[in-house]
Amino acid sequence: GIQVEQSPPDLILQEGANSTLRCNFSDSVNNLQWFHQNPWGQLINLFYIPSGTKQNGRLSATTVATERYSLLYISSSQTTDSGVYFCAVTSGYALNFGKGTSLLVTP
Amino acid sequence: GAGVSQSPSNKVTEKGKDVELRCDPISGHTALYWYRQSLGQGLEFLIYFQGNSAPDKSGLPSDRFSAERTGGSVSTLTIQRTQQEDSAVYLCASSFMGGAQETQYFGPGTRLLVL
């Protein structure tokens, strides 16, 4: 299957700081999703972004499909942004997940 | 319903017992997926349904695992003779048509602990 690598594995931020999370993948994809897993374990959809750039409030994402990477930007972070961020890709239907970036935002 | 629902939320069972996990997809979604999240393996795909048929069962870890879907809606994942390594969070997702270029929406998961 397609290999997905996320970096950094862990990140600690002070409230108000900005951050960039990266997702590299090993093959062409036609589906890339970013998720936030909250402390209760729920996977919350952030973006469906196989290519291009999208923005939703303080979050934005960019995928450069030809170079096989995607970036998730979090601006003005809040404590509620804490959790694990997953990138998942597929060229078929089964999503291949990275190991995630664990984010802790401190007050 | 408004989102994917799963039951039970938590399940504790003894080694060797059978368990059934249920998933109710978003109304109108024809595609349904099961994934598993465990500490050692991360998030991994188990099985995919298009309508009531499962064209891909390749992710099921052993023949103790089976799944069915009836009426193109609710799905049940059954684990027979549970083992401690089956302890994990079992996640269900659904999408509208099952095409690759679709958003998959996840339920809250069932946390299974095998003692």
**Taking CB atoms and an 8 Å limit, are B45 and A94 in contact across chains?**
yes
Report pLDDT digits (tens) over B2-14.
Answer: 899 999 999 999 9
Q: Using beta carbons and an 8 Å cutoff, which residues of B are at the interface with A? A: 31, 33, 35, 37, 42-45, 48, 56, 59, 89, 91, 93, 98-106, 108-109, 111
Residues of B with Cβ-Cβ distance to A94 under 8 angstroms: 33, 45, 48, 56, 59
Give the CA radius of gyration of chain A: 13
d(CA B50, CA B69): 9
Asked if residue B17 lies in contact with residue B82, where contact means CB atoms within 8 angstroms, the answer is yes
Residues of chain B above pLDDT 70, percent = 99
Each of the 107 residues of chain A gets a pLDDT tens digit; together they read 899 999 999 999 999 999 999 999 999 998 999 999 988 889 999 999 999 999 999 999 999 999 999 999 999 999 999 999 999 998 888 999 999 999 999 99
Q: Which has more confidence, B42 or B14?
A: B14
